[in-house]
Structure 1
Amino acid sequence: MAVNSLAEFLGKLKMCLDLMQVPPDSDNVDKDNIFKDYLDLAEHYRILDEHLQTVDKLSFDPLSEAFCLIINELNRNKLDKGKMGINELLKFYLRKVQKDNQVGCTHLFMTRIKYIFLYSLLDSFPFTELLWRYMCKCIQPVGFYLLEKQLNEACLIYSDYISIIGKTAARHGLPTDKLQHFLRMTEVKALEVGLDKLAGHVKNHRHNIES
């Protein structure tokens, strides 16, 4: 019997993401830090002998595992699985984000989306523009959902990531018209509901995305 590799990939992704727990922002923890019991030299100005005696431990991070699955498929030039990976990350983001965790949750997921985009810019990946156009189609409904749910902090942070990704895309000659349209529509919708700060924020991003 033939194996449906897309279905198998989707199952593995969901298995990882279903295990995710995003604590509230008020917990004041680094939600992307699985290294609290691991000696990371980059996090220390000075190393003491006692640091070197620490037994390294790494906790299981479902989001990192899902991210690795996606990158592995992009490394094999699997466009459909790359698109599915982006789609699943964004869907799980929307399922997890709430008013009490919107800052940390947005950073968690959008950092991975940014990394996936940066990986797709490698010369060895032949489908850069196709993956980019797909990502652009996903960006608008996600942003509008956040706005409709009044997740205002998430909207601000989300637009920051979109701006960073868009500027990088422009430098690599990729079209940014859909991103600029999304930012313009977000500006209009924000003004309609009295979110002047958000409207000004995305307007600034829209004007600077090609600079």
Structure 2
Amino acid sequence: MNEFVCLRQWILNFRRLLAMPASEEKSLPPCASSTVQLYPYCLLDKPAVPLPDRLAVADSKTEADASIPEPSVPLLADHAYLDLGSTLPTVEQLCSADEPRCDRLDLALDQLLEVMVQQRWSRLRAGINELLKDYLRSLLGLSAPGTFPGLAHSPAPSYSNTGESTHCPAPDPDELTRRYMDILSLIFEYCQSSRFPYRDSLWGYFSDCLRSVGLTLAEHRQWSALAVLITETAAMGRQAAREGLPTAPLQHLLRRLESACLSGNAPEIAQLAKNLRFTLEV
């Protein structure tokens, strides 16, 4: 019974993390100057605590750090984090201080990887499920305050194209889908480790979840998001095939999505699904 309570509490706290309002997400401190304490949002085995106004922050400086002077370099005007993996830097950027920041999805990925290390299958399965439900709610704008257990005090994101300051801008479907699929890809990559014992089960659950997500996108005519999901899913399928995992469920999914796109008058997306399905079959 105690394990059941702990599992339920972990799911609720993970759900709270995913429902973090945009205003609180923007207030997350720079990773370079402070440490984010995750446990108020994502307790593993602790009793529930009220959702705070923002993530609890503790000063990460130790006594040894106190002797290290702060860098005397100008701060970038937009506080943008310089990522050499995606940007060719200028001299000005290299000589300027930047502020790395994390968001709720970064924290969610950390939590999911942590439960993978701990080999907690039930929590991993529930976390992936909550992550993908959060994706659909974010994309379709379905969240509402108090709709979900454990979120009674969490305001829902409100998307609008009117430009009003009280609303968050509507997410870009392609970017949003790619961000969530990147998280799934990293989880799938880690599950190939010999230390993770549930590789086949996780792949089967991935296939089931992606089927539900893909058909939901087709039902709501989110064609650009669906194209990203199809492409990223096929990429995982090719990796799965190299690892000896079955791809028949994904081939069946792509066939169903192809039919759904044809029925929805989206022939280009249908052709994409068909081509990638043939690639998996080969």
TM-score by length of 2: 0.64
Residues 7 and 36 of structure 1: CA distance in aligned 2, closer, same or farther (over 3 Å): farther
Aligned partner of 2:138 in structure 1 is: 96
Residues 71 and 157 of structure 1: CA distance in aligned 2, closer, same or farther (over 3 Å): same
Displacement after TM superposition at 1:45 (Å): 4.2
Displacement after TM superposition at 1:17 (Å): 0.8
Distance 1:200 1:106 in 2: 20
Matched, 1:87 2:87: no
Moved over 6 A (4+): none
Query: What do residues 48-92 of structure 1 show as CA deviations (whole Å, max 9, x unaligned)?
Result: 3x5455334233401100110000000111111111111111100
SS state at 2:81 partner: coil
| Contact residue 20 and residue 63 of structure 1 kept, 8 A | no
Distance 2:266 2:260 in 1: 9
Query: What do residues 109-148 of structure 1 show as CA deviations (whole Å, max 9, x unaligned)?
Result: 1111111111111111011001111111111111000001
Distance 1:52 1:7 in 2: 46
Over the residues paired in the alignment, what is the CA RMSD in angstroms?
A: 2.4
How many aligned positions are there?
198
Amino acid of the residue matched to residue 19 of structure 2? D
Aligned partner of 2:81 in structure 1 is: 38
Runs of 5+ consecutive residues of structure 1 not aligned to the other structure: 22-33
Distance 1:106 1:154 in 2: 6
Q: 5 Å matches for 1:120-159?
A: 120-159=191-230
Mean alpha-carbon deviation: is it higher for 161-170 or for 90-99? Answer: 90-99
Residues 36 and 113 of structure 1: CA distance in aligned 2, closer, same or farther (over 3 Å): farther
SS state at 1:209 partner: helix
Higher relative contact order (CA 8 A, sep 6+): 1
Amino acid of the residue matched to residue 197 of structure 1? E
Displacement after TM superposition at 1:188 (Å): 1.4
Identity %: 30
